[in-house]
Amino acid sequence: MVNSISAELKNNCGSLASQYGIDNEKVAMVMLYHEIMWDLVDNLIQDRIIFTPAIFKDEESNKERLNEVVFFIEGGLMQ
């Protein structure tokens, strides 16, 4: 799924960069993702592909589950 999303972003960020005068295509990709990410997540939840993490349902009693919503990818996704 991540590869498909990344491919679509890469295919569409070039036109965004030129349309809005963004010099760096990687910056344009991040901007494009930040515009669509909430709709994408809503659709994935609606289709029951992903679920709302417990920490968002009851923050106080699920603090130890913060690792379910935070991650780090060494080198990043923008390579």
Question: Who contacts 24 (Cβ-Cβ below 8 Å, separation ≥6)?
Answer: 17
Global pTM reads 0.55
- Closest by CA to 32, choosing from 9, 5, 6, is 9
- Closest by CA to 28, choosing from 4, 41, 11, 42, is 11
Per-residue confidence (pLDDT) for residue 79, from 0 to 100? 54
Q: What is the pLDDT of residues 52-67, one digit of tens each?
A: 887 778 777 777 877 7
Name the residue type at position 46: Q
Question: Who contacts 26 (Cβ-Cβ below 8 Å, separation ≥6)?
Answer: 78
